Chain A
Amino acid sequence: MPKLSFFLGCIMPNRYPGIEIATKKTLEKLGVELVELPGASCCPAPGVFRSFDKATWLSIAARNVVLSEELGYDLLTVCNGCFGSLVDANNILKEDEAEREATNKILKQIGHEFKGTIRVRHIIEFLHSEVGADKIKEAVVKPVDLKVAVHYGCHLIKPSKERHLGSVENPRFFDELVEAVGAESIEYEDKLACCGAGGGARTAVLDTALQMAEAKVQHAIAAGADCFVDACPFCHLQLDVGQTEIAKKFGREYNLPVLHYSQLLGLSMGYTPEEMGIDMNYITNDEFMKKIGGDK
C-alpha cells in the first residue's frame, strides 16, 4: 500500500476542512495510506513569499519537505500553491548545491537537514499516475451525473520545467479522473485560464483578480456546467468566496458551485455532500445540492 505524508497547508484545514476529510476518506478507499505530518507550516505561498525574500521562502519550504523526509515518506498535497512551493523548493535544493548548502546552514540552527530523499506529489497527478483512472472507476458505487467545468489551475502544470506533466496548453489527465467517476468534463472558453488569485494579486488588487474569476464563472455557465471541479483550495476560495465578493461589489450573482476533486470523488464513492463538506462552501445553490443528493 503506498504511504505518503499529508501536508495540510493553510486554506484547506483553516477554511475548507471538507477537502481534508474528503481526501482522507477517498484515498483510504483507494488503498493509499496517509500519515500525519505534525508541525508543518504554510508552504509558504509561492507567489507572495518568493516575491518577498527567496531565502525565507526556500528555508520555510525546505523545513516542510524535511519534516516528511524525517518520516521517510513522499509528501502529498492537494493544493496547487503548496505544490508550486514544495516541488520547486525540493528541485532547487536537490539540484543547486550552493542553495542547498546555504539553506542547510539555516536549517541546522533549528535542528534539521535537507537530504533530498523524497518526492513531492499532488493528489491529481498522483492519482492519475500511481492509482490510475481504471482503479478509480472500480471504486465508484454511485456515478456522478454532472457536467463539470474542470479547473486545472496554473501551478499544477506550470512551470513545466519543474513539473513534467505533459502539455500545458491542452492537458487531459485531470479530465480523465473526472470522467472516471461518471461525470462529463465539458469544454469551455479559456478553460486553462488562471483563477486570478495567485502571485499575491488577490491581496494586492482584489477587484481585478475578481474580474478574472468572474470571466471563468461566466464561461463555465455559458457552456452549461453544473459546477467547477478544482485541484487547489486557493483557486477554490477564489472561485467560491470570489462569487460572494463579485455579488457584493459588482452586483452580479452566479452561485456556480465549486468542488475540489476529492469531494467529487467522495460523492462517487457514496459519501453524502454533507460528509464531504460541500454544503460548507460560501455560495449556496439549493438546486445543485438537491441534484447531488444533499439534505437541503
Chain B
Amino acid sequence: MDTIKTAELDHDFIKEISEEPGAEKITLCFNCTGCTAGCPMADLEAQYNIRKILRMASLGMKDEVLNNPYLWYCTTCYKCQERCPQGVQNVDALLKIRTIAVKNGIMLPKHRAVAKLVIEYGHAVPINDDAKEKRKKLGLEEMPYTVQRFPESLDEVHKLVEITKFGELTTE
C-alpha cells in the first residue's frame, strides 16, 4: 500500500462533509469494523468497504474517496448505521460524500439518466403503454392523477429544479 502523505490531505473535506448534521461523527469511528462485517454489499463485493471510505474521508483523502467507484455500491440499507456502537451516521455521511462527488462532476452516466427523467417528467419511472393497458384492465384511470397528468403541476417541478440548478448539476 502506498504511503499516505499528510501534505496531500485535504483538511477542509471533513468540514464540507460536516455540513450534513450528524455526518461529522465519522471522526468518532474506532475501527471496530462492525459496519462492514454486517454489510450485505461487502458480502458480495469485498472491495466495497464503507468503514474504509469513511475513514479515508475523515483523514482528508478527498480525491481518492470521490473517485472511488465503490462509493456508489451502498444500497442505503442502514444496517451499519443502526449497529454502530459510536453512533456514527455512516449512510448519512456517505450520501453527503456522494453529493460532493456530484458537485465535482463525478457521476455515473446511468444516474445522470435517472436525474434527467425526473427533470423532464417529474417521475423517475414515468408511465408507459403497458402500464396504461394494465390500469385500464384493472378499472383504474389510464393516467394516474400525478404530475404527468397536469401540465401546471409539471411546470412547478420544472421551475423547482431550475431554481436549484439541478439540471446543470447533473448534465455533463
Interface, chain A (partner B; CB < 8 A): 8, 10-11, 13-15, 17-18, 20-21, 36-42, 44-56, 59-60, 63, 96, 106-107, 109-112, 154-155, 158-160, 168-169, 190, 193-194, 196-201, 203-205, 208-209, 211-212, 275, 277, 280
Q: How far is the CB of A168 from chain B (nearest CB, A)?
A: 5
In contact, A42 and B118 (Cβ under 8 angstroms): yes
In the bound complex, how far is the Cα of B125 from the Cα of A34, in angstroms?
23
In contact, B134 and A53 (Cβ under 8 angstroms): no
The residue in chain B whose Cβ has the minimal distance to the Cβ of A45 is B124
In contact, B111 and A110 (Cβ under 8 angstroms): no
Chain B residues whose CB sits within 8 angstroms of the CB of A20 once the complex forms: 135, 138, 140, 144
Identify which of A40, A106, A194 contacts B160 (C-beta below 8 A): A106
Total number of B residues with any Cβ neighbor in A under 8 Å: 63
Q: How far is the CB of A249 from chain B (nearest CB, A)?
A: 15
Indicate the member of B89, B96, B107, B123 with the most A CB atoms within 10 Å: B123
In the bound complex, how far is the Cα of B77 from the Cα of A158, in angstroms?
8
In contact, A36 and B145 (Cβ under 8 angstroms): yes
Given the interface pairs A51-B99, A204-B73, the reply to whether A38 lies near B150 with Cβ below 8 Å is yes
In contact, B163 and A109 (Cβ under 8 angstroms): yes
Chain B residues whose CB sits within 8 angstroms of the CB of A37 once the complex forms: 145
In contact, A14 and B40 (Cβ under 8 angstroms): no
In contact, A42 and B124 (Cβ under 8 angstroms): yes
Q: How far is the CB of B79 from chain A (nearest CB, A)?
A: 8
In the bound complex, how far is the Cα of B150 from the Cα of A169, in angstroms?
42
Residues 121-156 of B, flagged 1 when their CB comes within 8 A of A and 0 if not, give 011111110010011001110001111011011001
Q: How far is the CB of B22 from chain A (nearest CB, A)?
A: 9
Indicate the member of A36, A53, A63, A201 with the most B CB atoms within 10 Å: A53
Q: How far is the CB of B1 from chain A (nearest CB, A)?
A: 25
Chain B residues whose CB sits within 8 angstroms of the CB of A42 once the complex forms: 118, 122-125, 147
Q: How far is the CB of A170 from chain B (nearest CB, A)?
A: 12
Chain B residues whose CB sits within 8 angstroms of the CB of A50 once the complex forms: 95, 99
The residue in chain A whose Cβ has the minimal distance to the Cβ of B139 is A21
The residue in chain B whose Cβ has the minimal distance to the Cβ of A44 is B118
Identify which of A39, A48, A158 contacts B156 (C-beta below 8 A): A39
In contact, B153 and A41 (Cβ under 8 angstroms): yes
In contact, A110 and B160 (Cβ under 8 angstroms): yes
Given the interface pairs A40-B146, A208-B45, the reply to whether A203 lies near B111 with Cβ below 8 Å is yes
Q: How far is the CB of B115 from chain A (nearest CB, A)?
A: 6
In the bound complex, how far is the Cα of B143 from the Cα of A13, in angstroms?
9
Chain B residues whose CB sits within 8 angstroms of the CB of A56 once the complex forms: 160-161, 164, 166, 169
In contact, A198 and B76 (Cβ under 8 angstroms): yes
Chain B residues whose CB sits within 8 angstroms of the CB of A194 once the complex forms: 40, 75, 77, 79
